[in-house]
Amino acid sequence: MMNDIKSVLYSEEMLRQTVAELGAKISADYRGRNLLLVSVLKGSVVFMSDLMRSITVPCEIDFMAVSSYGSGVKSSGTVRILKDLDRDIRGYDVLVVEDILDSGKTLNYLMDVLYARNPNSIRICTLFDKPERREVDIYADYKGLTVPDEFIVGYGLDYAEHYRNLPFIGVLKESVYQK
Residues noted as catalytic: 102
96 binds ligand IMP (CB under 6 A): no
Contact 62, 37 (CB under 8 A): yes
Strands, E assignment, 5-86:
5-10, 35-41, 59-67, 80-83
154 binds Mg ion (CB under 5 A): no
Site string for Mg ion, 32-61 (x = CB under 5 A): -----------x------------------
Among 10, 99, 129, 166, binds ligand IMP (CB under 6 A): 99
Of 173, 156, 174, the closest CA to residue 46 belongs to 156
What is the helix (H) or strand (E) element at residue 129, kind and residue range?
strand 121-129
Q: 23 vs 43, which CB is nearer to Mg ion? A: 43
Stretch that binds ligand IMP, among 25-33, 53-61, 105-113, 115-123 (CB under 6 A): 105-113
The interface partner of residue 152, options being ligand IMP, Mg ion, none and the CB cut-off 5 to 8 Å by kind, is ligand IMP
User: Is the bond into 42 cis (omega within 30 degrees of 0)?
Assistant: yes
State how beta strands 121-129 and 169-172 pair.
unpaired
- Residues in 3-42 at the binding interface with ligand IMP, rule: CB under 6 A: none
Measured CA to CA, the distance from residue 91 to residue 146 in angstroms comes to 32
100 binds ligand IMP (CB under 6 A): yes
101 binds ligand IMP (CB under 6 A): yes
Q: What is the DSSP letter of 173?
A: P
152 binds ligand IMP (CB under 6 A): yes
Residues found near Mg ion in the complex (CB under 5 A): 43
